[in-house]
Amino acid sequence: MRQKVDRVWRNARIASLRGDGYGVVDKAALATTDGKISWLGPQAEMPDFDLSETIDLDGRWITPGLIDCHTHLVYAGNRAQEFEQRLGGATYEEISKAGGGIVSTVRATRAASKDELIRQSLPRLDHILADGVTTIEIKSGYGLDTETECRMLEAARALGQQRRVRVRTSFLGAHALPIEAGGDKDAYIEMVCTEQLPAAARAGLVDAVDVFCEGIGFSNGQTRRVFEAAKALGLPVKLHAEQLSNLNGAALVAEYGGLSADHLEFVDEAGIRAMAAAGTVAVLLPGAFYFLCDTHVPPLDLMRKHGLAMAVATDCNPGSSPLTSILLAMNMACTLFQMTPVEALAGVTRHAAKALGMTAEIGTLEAGKACDLAIWDIEHPAELSYAIGFNPLYQRIVGGQNA
């Protein structure tokens, strides 16, 4: 009896991202059954399937659906006026005193209902998805109280119901210190660990726990306190680490077997070695580097030397990276960090899946994984990193269905 499949895309070129390179299969076909990839390979070797639908791709390329593994997509308001003030010469202190900075985003987000958060975040999501993204991670962190942190995560999950996209949510209560904490970071962290995080976890809203470990965020010791609370709840951890200084956050998140350490401009070799031993992914965020006019490039040669998996993400957020294009993030990773185009593509597919703990389901094209695809009008996959502000997406597929 012939094997039944739902759909076959034929006359395609495939970059499966299996192995170290693009994983190219020429003159290829790919079959899907029940939302998963059931077969892929050279078309000439395709079994005689019992087919419902065949789609001729006329030589177009298929890659895994792209994955944006680090975003702060859900928030209210924006900081465009602050941007304007800063370019007009206002100092950070002046902007802060005038009620600007992260405090203004927290104020606007606390004041917004769940529906309002969804309404304001949806256009950003749509823009990101238009680049062929099929999975996105969204963090909390602009509530800084139990109720608003949970509302942000609920809004993030609801966005995944409104569009065909997989959403992973990270709890980031330890993002900044709210004004009402009166400067007491330890007391606030205690509240994050004993109230905010347990409440969000109980509600089933937390896929991973994140912290902003930085001089202007939280210390290495305070981060450890949050990681202990996550561990007690059986939740994986990730970390904003070594963006503006080295607080040995990379080694700390590796010690907890963390999914990823993100930013890493100032990471040292000891931190990279610890990450390599733990299998912790380096998530590079060139949008923030660009927007903050940073000059301290993360040490990619050291990461390569130790065989770190390197992911790339937008870091979409209102303060330091108002970026809603993963393709532009890939281009910036190449131009600003000297990533190669194949590394950039692996960074938004195979390695981004690992940064979310989703390697078994997504990130490469192989039989048994979810049929999440991006189909492109290109002649070579390097075009995805090469173009600036050009989008060659032909079709986005999530779970075998047009999205």
Candidates 139, 188, 141; CA nearest to 167 is 139
Show Cβ contacts of residue 236 under 8 Å, excluding neighbours closer than 6 positions. 207, 208, 209, 230, 257, 258, 259, 357
Candidates 286, 309, 322, 306; CA nearest to 356 is 309
Candidates 318, 284, 381, 330; CA nearest to 81 is 318
**Least distance (Å) from Zn ion to the CB of residue 209?**
14
Q: Smaller CB distance to Zn ion: residue 288 or 371?
A: 288
What one-character DSSP code corresponds to residue 384? H
Measured CA to CA, the distance from residue 369 to residue 37 in angstroms comes to: 6
**Least distance (Å) from Zn ion to the CB of residue 217?**
10
Measured CA to CA, the distance from residue 14 to residue 112 in angstroms comes to: 44
**Least distance (Å) from Zn ion to the CB of residue 322?**
12
Measured CA to CA, the distance from residue 50 to residue 32 in angstroms comes to: 12
**Least distance (Å) from Zn ion to the CB of residue 305?**
26
Q: Smaller CB distance to Zn ion: residue 287 or 400?
A: 287
Strand 373-376 with 393-398, pairing = antiparallel
**Least distance (Å) from Zn ion to the CB of residue 71?**
8
Query: Residue 342 — φ and ψ, nearest 5°?
Result: -70, -35
Strand 260-263 with 24-33, pairing = unpaired
**Least distance (Å) from Zn ion to the CB of residue 240?**
5
Residue with tokens 């000439």, as numbered in its chain: 44
Give one DSSP letter per residue of 24-51, joined into a string: EEEEEEEEEETTEEEEEEEGGG----EE
Show Cβ contacts of residue 68 under 8 Å, excluding neighbours closer than 6 positions. 128, 133, 135, 136, 137, 313, 314, 316, 326, 348, 352
Residue with tokens 């450890």, as numbered in its chain: 224
Q: Smaller CB distance to Zn ion: residue 214 or 372?
A: 214
Residue 184 has a CB neighbour count (10 Å cut-off) of: 11
Q: Smaller CB distance to Zn ion: residue 242 or 315?
A: 315
Q: Smaller CB distance to Zn ion: residue 271 or 318?
A: 318
**Least distance (Å) from Zn ion to the CB of residue 315?**
5
Measured CA to CA, the distance from residue 297 to residue 50 in angstroms comes to: 52
Q: Smaller CB distance to Zn ion: residue 23 or 249?
A: 249
Interaction site with Zn ion (CB under 5 A): 315
**Least distance (Å) from Zn ion to the CB of residue 241?**
11
Q: Smaller CB distance to Zn ion: residue 154 or 315?
A: 315
The closest residue (CB) to Zn ion is 315
Q: SS3 of 402, please?
A: strand
Amino acid at 134: T
Q: Smaller CB distance to Zn ion: residue 72 or 224?
A: 72
Q: Smaller CB distance to Zn ion: residue 141 or 400?
A: 141
Residue 53 has a CB neighbour count (10 Å cut-off) of: 10
Q: Smaller CB distance to Zn ion: residue 66 or 176?
A: 176
Q: How many whole angstroms from its chain centre is CA 233?
A: 23
**Least distance (Å) from Zn ion to the CB of residue 70?**
6
Q: Smaller CB distance to Zn ion: residue 149 or 315?
A: 315
Candidates 184, 155, 171; CA nearest to 212 is 171
